[in-house]
Amino acid sequence: MQAPHTDILVIGGGPAGLHAAFYAGWRGLSVRVLEARGEIGGQLAALYPDKRVYDVPGLPATRAAEVVTHLQRQLDGLDVDLRVHTLARTLERVGDGWQVGTTSGVFTAGAVILAAGLGALRPREARVPGADLHPDVRTDLPDPDTLHGRRVLVVGGVPQATRAALELTAAGARVTLTHRRAGFRGDPDALARLEGMQTQGQLTVWAPATLRRLTEWGAELEVDGHEQNVEADTILVLNGYLPDLSPVQSWPLNWQGDYVPDGPGGRTALEGVYAVGDMAQSSTDFKLISLAFAQAAVAANHAAHHVRPELRIRPGHSSEKRA
Ligand SMILES: Cc1cc2nc3c(=O)[nH]c(=O)nc-3n(C[C@H](O)[C@H](O)[C@H](O)COP(=O)(O)OP(=O)(O)OC[C@H]3O[C@@H](n4cnc5c(N)ncnc54)[C@H](O)[C@@H]3O)c2cc1C
């Protein structure tokens, strides 16, 4: 069976990858974006979704998660296939194009735009006493519907923990949320909803609380100096993410440490492979969303010309194109 093919494969669903996907799609190309995490947005979604970003052109003082929403909306109507939970691992030359092996199959394309940022953002390990005793300890939020009717203990104060508690409760799980500090992170709407649900008894919150250990039936907490047992079928330990570049660092791109040298148009040592965003060597001193956008626009237009030589590199102005 032949691998599914698109004109362009973008590796990484952060701002650089999403804007590259927009530009290539806007030029009329078919695009597939491969993202290791369960959601797009890169560092903005994983590391600081609740923080306001002040220096994205055209979006003054906008929460990072909202910047991602805008980037995704800009893909509406374009031939862009977003694949989450898809970690790119191998790159091979096939004919005039490239084949990328992933954790969810093999894909081919005429050109590859590498937008892997700091690396695949992987959930931190659950370093909790007794983590090996409980039968269902997880470090990332699965599809909430799969936990319907289950008793779920969510451990953590990061925005993903707040969101997991809300989404799981909405999906019919019986949720307890705990954190060692009193406060949780999240956007103000999410925090207000959390408080509302807690007040209405729709979920239980123990914070500040010390997680003494996990057991085969749940967890032992210490709250105000007293032992508090929580029975749980599933335990979600959400501690944020750590970047991992190793899946792509074996690719022959003349890596300079964590950076890929990017020549004019984002070109790399491999013909038809481009590097943009935080991982491009030209970003060494400026890891900025605005720079990632600019690099993505340039590389996507070069990639478009590479795949379809009849397309000029210069895209023309979008304002002159009919919708
Ligand atoms: C706390 C914090 C605050 C910041 N604030 C600002 C700010 O105010 N303004 C600003 O301009 N910048 C800010 N930045 C920097 C900005 O977030 C980065 O410059 C930007 O995210 C880079 O985008 P990117 O697409 O290159 O990489 P990333 O955002 O890192 O996205 C890369 C994506 O690729 C995925 N990926 C990696 N390897 C693979 C693989 N092998 N297969 C599949 N997927 C893969 C990752 O999971 C990730 O989702 C901030 C950064 C941090 C950490």
pLDDT tens string 34-45: 999 999 999 999
The span from the CA of 52 to the CA of 64, in Å, is 6
- Whether 121 lines ligand 1, by a CB cut-off of 6 Å, is yes
Atom of ligand 1 nearest to the CA of 40: 49
Give phi and psi for 23, each to the nearest 5: -65, -40
Give phi and psi for 24, each to the nearest 5: -65, -40
**Could you check whether the bond before residue 123 is cis, i.e. omega within 30 degrees of 0?**
no
Beta bridge partners of 6: 109
- Whether 113 lines ligand 1, by a CB cut-off of 6 Å, is no
The span from the CA of 163 to the CA of 190, in Å, is 7
High-pLDDT (> 90) share of the chain, %:
91
Contact 98, 91 (CB under 8 A): yes
Best of 244, 260, 284, 289 for a ligand 1 pocket test (most atoms within 8 Å of beta carbon): 289
Give phi and psi for 223, each to the nearest 5: -125, 125
- Whether 87 lines ligand 1, by a CB cut-off of 6 Å, is yes
Distance 322 CA to ligand 1 centre (A): 32
What is the reported pLDDT for 322? 63
- Whether 159 lines ligand 1, by a CB cut-off of 6 Å, is no
pTM of the model: 0.92
Atom of ligand 1 nearest to the CA of 280: 26
The single residue listed with the structure tokens 């509406």 is: 76
Closest Cα to atom 46 of ligand 1 = 120
Distance 38 CA to ligand 1 centre (A): 15
User: Known binder of ligand: residue 283?
Assistant: no
- Whether 16 lines ligand 1, by a CB cut-off of 6 Å, is yes
Residue 25, CA distances (Å) to 20, 28, 31, 88, 219 in order = 8, 5, 6, 21, 48
User: Known binder of ligand: residue 88?
Assistant: yes
Contact 300, 24 (CB under 8 A): yes
pLDDT 10s per residue in the chain (323 long)? 667 999 999 999 999 999 999 999 999 999 999 999 999 999 999 999 989 999 999 999 999 999 999 999 999 999 999 999 999 999 999 999 999 999 999 999 999 999 999 999 999 998 899 999 999 999 988 889 999 999 999 999 999 999 999 999 999 999 999 999 999 998 889 999 999 999 999 999 999 999 999 999 999 999 999 999 999 999 999 999 999 999 999 999 999 999 999 999 999 999 999 999 999 999 998 999 999 999 999 999 999 999 999 999 988 898 887 65
The span from the CA of 206 to the CA of 156, in Å, is 11
Closest CA relative to residue 83, chosen from 145, 167, 11, 143:
11
Environment class of residue 130 by beta-carbon count within 10 Å: exposed (0-12), middle (13-18) or buried (19+)? middle
The span from the CA of 104 to the CA of 106, in Å, is 7
The span from the CA of 72 to the CA of 67, in Å, is 9
pLDDT tens-digit readout, 262-278: 999 999 999 999 999 99
Atom of ligand 1 nearest to the CA of 86: 43
The span from the CA of 112 to the CA of 29, in Å, is 13
- Whether 218 lines ligand 1, by a CB cut-off of 6 Å, is no
Closest Cα to atom 12 of ligand 1 = 288
Pairing of strands 137-138, 120-123: unpaired
User: Known binder of ligand: residue 290?
Assistant: no
Distance 249 CA to ligand 1 centre (A): 17
The span from the CA of 109 to the CA of 107, in Å, is 7
User: Known binder of ligand: residue 145?
Assistant: no
Give phi and psi for 265, each to the nearest 5: 75, 10
Tokens found for residue 194: 């959390």
What ranges make up the beta strands (E) of the chain? Answer: 5-11, 31-34, 52-53, 62-63, 80-83, 88-94, 97-102, 105-114, 120-123, 137-138, 151-155, 174-178, 204-206, 210-214, 218-223, 226-231, 234-237, 241-244, 273-275
- Whether 15 lines ligand 1, by a CB cut-off of 6 Å, is yes
Closest CA relative to residue 270, chosen from 104, 120, 112:
112
- Whether 247 lines ligand 1, by a CB cut-off of 6 Å, is yes
The span from the CA of 190 to the CA of 89, in Å, is 35
